[in-house]
Amino acid sequence: MRCRKCPTRAVIKIPRHHTAFCGPCLTEFVRTQVQRAIKTERMFTPDDRILVAVSGGKDSLTLWEILLALGYRADALYVDLGIGGYSARSREKVEQFAQQFAEPRQARLLVHQIKEEEGAGIRELADLVRRPTCSACGTIKRYHFNRVALANQYDVMATGHNLDDEAARLLGNVLRWQEDYLHKQGPNLPASVEGFAKKVKPLYRLTEREIAAYALVNRIDYIVEECPMAKGSKMLLYKDVLNRLETESPGTKQTFYWRFLERQANQTSTAPSMQDTDRTVLQPCRLCGQPTTADTCMYCKMMARAKSALV
């Protein structure tokens, strides 16, 4: 099979766009999609300072590489969860990447270590507060990204969520008709209230497979191994179902998520905006000042419980 843009052999077929690319043309395609996402969703400008949430996986490292290649001012934050060998290996990938791609462009890697700062690894913490590991992990990661972004005056936080992530999450929410969650599913979540950093997802136009191929072609060495806690997750099931549909009928994932975004965009004129709803329900946490619906935020509550169990 030939590349559709030049006479070279193709390395990937992209059925949803009826096309196929060689390595360099894939690179161009992926970067163009990211640039389009940034522009059409008004995510940020070349003057903005961006904080990328990196895990060592393909999506977040690829996102960081692309932003740097496109000339954006992007630093990154890695949260070391303290999950034995997995955390050690993923951290090594992130540090290698930072040395190879970020340092030459004067971009910085920030690291937060849960074990050192919170007193125990994420699995132990979750046990102490009797919550599922992934839900405790989500709370802690969100908290620190927001805290670091605000403390260092970043204009925007970027995550590596891709089309598969967003379509799978949408499917999960729709299956349970969790309409409250639907309005928080866009690729651009504005800084709704004082104390919340703006959040964007510049990879939402690209599938996991396209991103993995980009990483491979551009020699981005990421951790292929999964976090051991992800085993048997609902997300994996939804992604599998969507990929079966995608194989039979290319474009399914894109249509499902993008049409949802279009509907959402059309509705915003009548429905109260997320900013307005948030402003009425959120207030600063009594202990840390981050916005919360209660008087103490989830993170502070969790840490208070963990501390009393730790002593």
Q: Which of 205, 196, 72 lies closest to 142, judged by CA?
A: 196
Binding span for Zn ion by CB under 5 A among 1-9, 36-44, 180-188, 252-260: 1-9
- Residue 297: contacted member of Zn ion, another protein, ligand SF4, none (CB under 5 to 8 Å, by partner type): Zn ion
Taking only Cα atoms into account, the Rg of the chain, rounded to an integer number of angstroms, comes to 20
Of 211, 282, 297, 302, the one binding another protein (CB under 8 A) is 211
Residue 213 contacts another protein per CB under 8 A: yes
Q: Do the Cβ atoms of 235 and 169 come closer than 8 Å?
A: yes
Q: Which of 286, 290, 267, 265 lies closest to 193, judged by CA?
A: 290
Give the position of tokens 């949408």: 170
- Residue 133: contacted member of Zn ion, ligand SF4, another protein, none (CB under 5 to 8 Å, by partner type): ligand SF4
Of 12, 14, 20, 22, the one binding Zn ion (CB under 5 A) is 22
**55/192 with CB nearer another protein:** 55
Footprint (CB under 8 A) of another protein, residues 235-274: 235-236, 239-240, 243-244, 246-247
Residue 304 contacts another protein per CB under 8 A: no
Instruction: Give the separation between CA 32 and CA 142, rounded to whole angstroms.
Output: 28
- Residue 278: contacted member of Zn ion, another protein, ligand SF4, none (CB under 5 to 8 Å, by partner type): none
**15/272 with CB nearer another protein:** 15
How many other CB atoms are found less than 10 A from the CB of residue 108? 13
Binding string to another protein for residues 164 to 183, with x set by CB under 8 A, is what? xx------------------
Q: Which of 260, 251, 236, 242 lies closest to 186, judged by CA?
A: 260
Q: Cα 98–99–103 angle (5° rounding)?
A: 80
Q: CB within 8 A of 195, min separation 6: which ones?
A: 146, 150, 284, 289, 290, 291
The letter for the amino acid at 189 is: L
Give the position of tokens 């497979």: 209
Residues engaged in binding Zn ion (CB under 5 A): 3, 5-6, 8, 22, 25, 285, 287-288, 297, 300
Residues engaged in binding another protein (CB under 8 A): 1, 10-13, 20, 23, 55, 57-59, 164-165, 207-209, 211-213, 216-217, 224-227, 230-231, 233, 235-236, 239-240, 243-244, 246-247
